[in-house]
Amino acid sequence: MSPRLHHLVALALLGARIAPATGAAQTAPNATLRSAQLAYDNLEYRQALSLARGALRERLTGAERARAYELLGFTYGAMDSILKAVDAFKEVVLIDPERQLDPNRVSPKAYSAFAVALGQVLLVRQLHVDSVSFVGGQGAVPVRFTVTQPARVTTRAIGTPGTFVIDSGAWNGQVNLRWPARLPTGDPVPPGTYTLVVDARLGQNTFSASQPIRLTLGRVDTLPAITSLPGYQFLPQTEITPQSWRPVGLAFLYTGGALVGTLGLESSSLGSSSKRELGIVGGAALVTGFAMMLRKPGVRPAAANILYNQLLREQIARRNQDIAKENVTRRREVQVTVTPLPKGTPGAVR
Amino acid sequence: MRWAAVLLAALTPGAAAGQAVLVGPELALANYREVASGLRYNGTGFGGSASVRRGKLSAEAAIARLTFDPASGSGATAGFKATQVDAWVAYDVAAYASVEVGVLHRSVTPEFDATSVGAVRVGVRSFSEIGPGATMVFRANYLAAPKFSSGGRAAVSLDLGIGLDVRLLGRLHGTAVYAFERMNRKVNPGGTGEIDAPIQQTRARVGLALAF
C-alpha cells in the first residue's frame, strides 16, 4: 500500500468515526454550512474547509457558528493540522462552553485537540446544583462545576433577598462545593429565587456561569408516636391451663406420705392403728385430685407474658418520650429545600 | 383451754379485719389406743374449726368433742368422752412451706378412764394447690413437753397429718383433716422402774366452712 493510499484509508476511517458530524448536515439550516458538512462526510476536506470558512463569513446563529467551528476542528484534525484544530475548538467552547464530545464517537485526534482547546481557554463548565432538602444546619446544597484553567473562583448566590458568598478560592478542574445556606447568625438564608453565579478570573480573563435555583423554607416533619416496636408484638396475657396429672399426683403424694408416716410411727405394742380415718381423708383428697385433673381447662394469667407486655409497654412509652423530645426540637427547626430552575426563569438574577 | 381462748380471740373478725377467715362445723372420727393393743376405742363426735391468714402469717384452731366406745375385741369395759383442742400459728418460709408452733390439749371424762394430755407443738407444714380452689397440706409436729394426767413422760411424741380444703361453691368450702398422734409415754408406777405406756390416736375431721 502506497503512503498516499494509506493516508486516504486512515482519513476514511477517521471520518467514519465522526458520528456527531454525520447527519447534522441534514438539520443545518444554513446552506453553506450544510454543503460543508456534506463535503466533510464525503471526505472532501479541502472543500469542507473552504465551505466552513465561507459559512462563518455569513450571518449565522450561535449554534450554527459553533457547529461551523466544530466542523473546522474535525476537518483540521482529520488533516493532522492539530494546532488549527485546537484553535477551531477554542472558538467552539467560547461560543458554547457546555459543548462535549463523546470519546466513543469522535476520533482520538479530534478529541485530544478538543481537550487541549479546553485547557487553553478559561471556562466554567458543567455547573450543577442538585435538588436537595435538609434540616437547616444539618445539611448543605451540593454545587459542582469544572474550571478549565487554574483561576480565582468566586461562587455567590444572588437573589432579591440578598447576595451570599458561597466560596472564594483558587480552583482548577472539577470543583465540589457545599453550601449550608445559612447566615452568619446561624439562621437559614431567606427563601426566594437565587442565581448561583460562578466567576472565574485568571489575569485579565474572566468567565462566569450561572444556575437559577429556588430556595424554600418549611417546617420539619415531626415524628408520629408509636404504638408498637418493629419485631415485637404483645403476647396474650392469659393462657389455657393444660390438663395434667399434677392434682392427682399431689393427692397421692400427700396421702401416701401420711400413710407411710402412720405405718412408720405405729407402736408395735399397740398393734396396727385404724386406717378408717386416713381412708376417709385420703379418699377425699384422691377424689378431689381426680376431679381437678379431669376438670375443663381454665384460663389463667400468663405471668411471663404479662411481664413481657409490661416491659414492652415501658419501652414504647420511653420511645414515645424520646419522640416527643425530638419533636419539640424539630418544631424549632427549618426544612431547607433547594430546587434548580431552568435557565432564564423569571425572577432569577442574570 | 386458755391457749385456745387466746387463739380464738385472735381469729375474731374485729381483730383480723381484711383477713381471709374460714369458719365451720366438723364431724370427727377417731381411734384411740393406750398402753396395750387390747385397750382401744373408736369415737365419733362433732366440732368446729377456724383459720385465718394474713400475708405470710396464718393461724388455725380446731375443737372436737368425741365420744369413745370400746372397739370390738377391746379389753375395755367402758367408754369415755374427750374434748380435744388443737391450735397452730404458722409463718410461711417459702411459697409451699411454713414453720408452725401450737398447742394440743385433750381432756377426758371420766377422769380416770383415759389419759388427759397437753403439749406444745413445734413443726413444719407443706402446702400445695392441687387445682383451682383446692389446697392440700402435709403437717409434721413434734409434741414437746407433754403432760399426762396419769403421770409419766414421753421423750418422743409426734403428730403428723394431711389436710384438704376445697372451695365448693362461692364462700362454701369443704374441709377434711387427718391426724396421727403417737406419744411414747413411759410411766414409773410405784418407783419400780419405767414401763412403756404409749398413747396413739388417729383422727379424721370432715366438715364445711364459710369463708369471710
From the list A190, A134, A133, A130, the residue with the least C-alpha distance to A163 is: A190
Helix (H) or strand (E) holding B94: strand B80-94
Q: pLDDT tens, position by position, for chain A (350 residues)?
A: 344 434 433 333 333 334 344 444 445 578 999 999 999 999 999 999 999 999 999 998 989 999 999 999 999 999 989 999 999 999 999 999 988 888 888 888 899 999 999 989 999 999 999 899 998 888 899 999 999 999 999 999 999 888 999 999 999 999 999 999 988 888 889 999 999 999 999 988 899 999 999 999 998 888 899 999 999 999 999 988 777 888 999 999 999 999 999 888 887 777 777 888 899 999 999 999 999 888 877 788 899 999 999 999 999 999 999 999 988 888 888 889 999 998 766 655 54
The radius of gyration computed from the CA coordinates of chain A, to the nearest angstrom, equals: 44
Q: Which region among B16-25, B119-128, B146-155, B169-178 has the lowest average model confidence (pLDDT)?
A: B16-25
How far, CA to CA in Å, does A155 sit from each of A22, A133, A163, A236, B56? 39, 21, 11, 63, 82
Distance CA(A116)–CA(A83), nearest Å, equals 9
- What are the φ and ψ backbone dihedral angles of A259, each rounded to 5 degrees? -65, -45
Please return the burial class of A241, using the count of CB atoms within 10 Å of its CB with bins 0-12, 13-18 and 19+.
middle
Helix, strand, coil content of chain B in percent (nearest 5): 5, 75, 20
CB burial of B81-116 (b: ≥16 within 10 Å; e: otherwise) equals bbbbbbbbbbebeeeeebebebbbbbbbeeeebbbb
**B59 in Cβ contact with B88 (< 8 Å):** yes
d(CA A210, CA A24): 29
Which among A254, A273, A288 has CB closest to B202?
Answer: A273
Other beta carbons less than 10 A from residue A27's beta carbon: 9
Of A207, A97, A195, A96, residue with least CA distance to A152:
A207
Nearest by CB: B166 against A278, A282, A288: A288
Cell numbers representing residue A295 in the block: 376438670
- pLDDT of A170: 93
Angle of helix A45-56 relative to helix A31-41, nearest 10 degrees?
160
Chain A segment 277-296 residues within 8 A of B by beta carbon are: 277-278, 280-282, 284-285, 288-289, 291-293, 295
DSSP code of residue A274: P
Cβ pair B130:A289 closer than 8 A: yes
- Is A73:A48 a contact under the CB 8 Å cutoff? no
Please indicate whether, in this complex, the C-beta atoms of B180 and A273 are within 8 angstroms of each other: yes
Stated pTM of the model = 0.52
Q: What pLDDT score was predicted for residue A194?
A: 92
Q: Which residues of A touch B163 (CB under 8 A)?
A: 281
Q: Write phi, then psi, for A255 (nearest 5 degrees).
A: -65, -45
Query: Looking at the predicted structure, is the pLDDT value of residue B11 above 70?
Result: no
How far does Cα B83 stand from its chain's mean position?
A: 11
Distances (CA, A) of A319 to A192, A226, A244: 38, 8, 42
Q: What is the pLDDT of residues A69-87, one digit of tens each?
A: 999 999 999 998 999 999 9
Taking an 8 Å cut-off on Cβ atoms, the answer to whether B128 and A254 are in contact is yes
Residue B7 · residue B15 · CB < 8 Å: no
- Chain A residues with CB-CB distance to B202 below 8 A: 262, 273-278
What letter represents residue A171's amino acid?
A: W
Q: What is the DSSP letter of A342?
A: -
Cα–chain center distance at A193 = 24
Amino acid at B159: D
- Tell me if A262 and B203 make a contact (CB, 8 A cut-off): no
Q: Cβ distance A49 to A32 under 8 Å?
A: no
- Judge residue B121's burial from the number of C-beta atoms within 10 Å of its C-beta, 0-12 exposed, 13-18 middle, 19 or more buried: buried
> Cβ neighbours of residue B117 under 8 Å, at least 6 residues apart?
B104, B105, B106, B146, B147, B148, B149, B183, B199
Q: Do B200 and A262 touch (CB under 8 A)?
A: no
Peptide bond into A212 cis (omega under 30): no
| Nearest CB partner across the interface for A277, out of B29, B128, B131 | B29
Cell of A302: 400468663
Instruction: Calculate how close chain B gets to A303, using CA atoms only, in Å.
Output: 16
Residue B177: which of A270, A281, A289 has the nearest Cβ? A281
Dump pLDDT digits (tens) for A3-57: 443 443 333 333 333 434 444 444 557 899 999 999 999 999 999 999 999 999 9
Phi, psi (rounded to 5 degrees) for A335: -90, 120
Residue B202 has a CB neighbour count (10 Å cut-off) of 23
Of residues B129, B121, B172, B205, the one with CA closest to residue A254: B129
Cβ–Cβ under 8 Å, residues B102 and B85: no
